[in-house]
Amino acid sequence: KGVIMKKLLLSISLMVLVSSQSILAAGYIATYSVNVSNPAEYAKQMDSLMNSEWGKSFPGVVSLGSYAFNGYDDATHAVIINYDNEVDAGKATESFYTPRFAEFLAATSSIAEPVEQSLNRKILTGGEMSSNKNNVYTIYRMDVKNPAAYAKSYAKVAKAQVEAGNIGGAYGLRAQVAGNQNYYTHYAFTGSDSVGSALAEQEKLFSSDSFAKFQKEISTNRSVIQTSMLVVMARYNDEN
């Protein structure tokens, strides 16, 4: 009973902390990573798809990104889809089984090899959302043992970094709900206006007192599996 009560109190305290900062998130992020042999042609076919009636009616914000750094992962590019809710995620996924999307798959099958298909729930989101502040994303894929405790610590360090001016774009924490959880269970990200800014902001983060405290709090709770840097090539259905 004591363990259950402790977890309940931790969850309640997290909700209060998050709500007070207005960064509690709703919705989902779908990631489709691919190994692309002809980036220009793939981008052309993506542009054609998203500017068709199929794309204009698609219920999600779609980003096409190119990995500047991705470790040993075979993926060179990723299509990232931002859904506001379960209904939109469901409708969008159903649209992948339509003739127009089949045309896109046929046109790109010889130049794009699927690597990852994952769905992540938004846990926390904050920062500057405008597109020009988020041309580059730094992504930290992690294995987290206690999600509630980690989210509480993450919310505190994110607040401190924003107040110190160390995050130029958006930031967030996501939990994987469908995909290969033997690889990672969560990921965190920060957005920047350029690769140079991303590197400078990361250096400030790692050298800050708030990050040192954060590292001590989560040292036995989180293992970083991979750090990637994704450069946004195109966005569709984005009002920001």
Distance CA 135, CA 178 (A): 26
Alpha-carbon dihedral 240, 199, 182, 124, rounded to 10 degrees:
-40
| DSSP 8-state code for residue 107 | H
Three-state SS sequence of 110-123: CCEEEEEEEEEEEE
Q: Which helix (H) or strand (E) holds 77?
A: strand 77-83
Q: How confident is the model at residue 239 (pLDDT cuts 50, 70, 90)?
A: confident
Q: What is the mean pLDDT of the chain?
A: 90
Is the pLDDT score of 230 beyond 90? Answer: yes
181-191: pLDDT as tens digits = 778 999 999 99
**Which pLDDT score is estimated for 240?**
67
Q: Is the pLDDT confidence value at 9 over 50?
A: no
49-105 pLDDT tens trace:
999 999 999 999 999 999 999 988 899 999 999 999 999 999 999 999 999 999 999
pLDDT of residue 237 exceeding 70, the answer is: yes
DSSP labels, 15-26: HHHHHHHT-B--
**For residues 144 and 217, what is the distance between their CA atoms, to the nearest angstrom?**
13
Q: Cα(55)–Cα(186) distance, rounded to whole angstroms?
A: 29
Neighbours of 85 (CB within 10 A): 11
How confident is the model over 101-127, as a mean pLDDT? 96
Nearest Cα to Cα of residue 10 among 147, 149, 173, 146: 149
- Tokens of residue 211, six digits: 């990050």
238: Cβ contacts below 8 Å, ≥ 6 apart: 61, 63, 131
